[in-house]
Amino acid sequence: MLYELTFFYADELKRTERRMKNLAHMPVKGRVAESILIIRDAFGIEENGQLSFGLTRKDMAALAGTTYETVIRMLNELVKDGYIALNDKDIVILKEQELRECCQTKV
């Protein structure tokens, strides 16, 4: 039990370190794309590709480490690129691979 708990905390530490590195080095568009993928991985998607759980833009900004206004601007840019679609406040993932490529840091 203690052995498994140690591995759990080690994995959490790795994940947190990666997240901090991304906040420092990843462009904002990549952080917003990563936030969408984090939500998708945690809560899943509907049959049409829509995220099963909708975050407010304010919550997404907190997750991405940016401002509310910047999240809206980056979401619109992702829509323009054809990676996602917006249905009111809901996000539909159209091109998951391209979203993942946005998250790649060049460090």
Output the pLDDT for position 106: 56
Q: Which residues contact 102 (CB under 8 A, 6 or more apart)?
A: 29, 30, 33, 34, 78, 83
Q: Which of 16, 61, 4 is nearest to 36 (CA)?
A: 61
Output the pLDDT for position 105: 60
Question: Going from the N-terminus, what domains does the chain have, and what CATH number goes with each?
Answer: 2-102 (1.10.10.10)
Beta-carbon-side half-sphere exposure of residue 1 (alpha carbons within 13 Å): 0
One pLDDT digit (tens) per residue for the chain, 107 residues? 788 888 888 888 888 787 777 667 788 899 999 889 988 988 888 888 888 888 889 999 998 889 999 999 999 999 999 999 998 888 999 998 988 888 776 54
Total-model pTM: 0.78
